[in-house]
Amino acid sequence: MKKTFISIFCILTLCSFIACGNKNKKNMEGTVLLLETSMGDIRLRLFDDTPKHRDNIVKLAKEGFYDGTLFHRVIKDFMVQAGDPKSKNASDTATLGSGDTGYTIPAEFVYPKYFHRRGVLAAARMGDDVNPKQESSGCQFYIVTGKKFSEAELDGLETQLNQQKLQATFDRLARQHMKEIFMMRKTNDTIGLKKLEDEVFEQAKAEVLAHMFRFTDEQKKAYTTVGGAPHLDGQYTVFGEVIEGMDVVDAIQNVKTGRADRPVENVIIKKVTVEE
């Protein structure tokens, strides 16, 4: 009797251990999306620390929003983009990419933890000129294929990104003085304009110097060995990653494309299933 009790206890303990292990594994993996495409299946793990993007794409997937849509924009060694509702049953000559849900999602930059290495899932969005808060499209997304970079190329890109940041900061600060600039131009006050320009430039430079863009060691290792699209870092929300089917993504990025980078032969997302 005692022996039987010990055996049962051991079995229950083992079952409990396995159950806990599976639970922990599931929690670690997070929500998974299965994309069944005309070129094969892709599995994506969604990050829990980008909850707005995770919950939105899960909601749309459960509603069947993506079923029948296309990978409408494909650029080799960069990314493959999908999610435009207008791509459903679109004609072969239609220019795609403008379809949306009618809302945007606030940016969720978890940077530099998540960056644009090969295989990540990120949200598409409108440009900074019309979207200064860098909010994401309500439905369009892309998967990074990218390319490998040398350390020298990454150093040069850091310099370029900081220069772009300086220009953007200068423009933003200058817009705060538009009335003054208008009056100085109206009165042909070139001395005043030059003085204001210098002041705004120094203010912009101080802001940028306080928050210089630098790739982390992890980013440099990934971009030199695996590849990616480092010029997008910190500007677009990364909210998941491919866990199965990167070979399918590579096959998609190699298809022949035509106008506006649209594949000549449709690459269809047949169905998106949530595996929770």
Beta strands in 38-98 (DSSP E): 40-46, 69-75, 79-82
pLDDT tens profile 39-72: 999 999 999 999 999 999 999 999 999 999 999 9
**Domain check: are 125 and 40 in the same one?**
yes
CA distances from 54 to 120, 171, 179 (A): 14, 33, 43
Q: Domain limits at 165?
A: 152-210
**Domain check: are 113 and 233 in the same one?**
yes
The reply to whether 102 falls in a domain is yes
- For the cut 90, the answer to whether the pLDDT of residue 84 exceeds it is yes
10 residue type, one letter: C
- For the cut 80, the answer to whether the pLDDT of residue 93 exceeds it is yes
**Domain check: are 141 and 243 in the same one?**
yes
SS3 268: strand
The reply to whether 64 falls in a domain is yes
The reply to whether 180 falls in a domain is yes
User: How many domains is the chain partitioned into structurally?
Assistant: 2
Helices 151-175, 190-210: inter-axial angle, 10-degree rounding: 130
Note whether 72 and 271 are within 8 A (CB). no
CB contact burial 247-271 (16+ within 10 A = b; e otherwise): ebbeebbebebeeebbbeeebbbee
Note whether 74 and 259 are within 8 A (CB). no
Listed in sequence order, the residues at least 6 apart from 258 whose beta carbon sits closer than 8 Å to its beta carbon are: 264
Q: Would you say the C-alpha torsion 129, 82, 244, 63 has a positive or negative sign?
A: positive
pLDDT tens profile 138-178: 999 999 999 999 999 999 999 999 999 999 999 999 999 99
**Domain check: are 161 and 69 in the same one?**
no
Q: Would you say the C-alpha torsion 241, 246, 251, 254 has a positive or negative sign?
A: positive
**Domain check: are 203 and 246 in the same one?**
no
- For the cut 60, the answer to whether the pLDDT of residue 25 exceeds it is no
Q: Tell me the C-alpha distance between 107 and 103, whole Å.
A: 13
**Domain check: are 132 and 239 in the same one?**
yes
**Domain check: are 119 and 164 in the same one?**
no
**Domain check: are 44 and 87 in the same one?**
yes
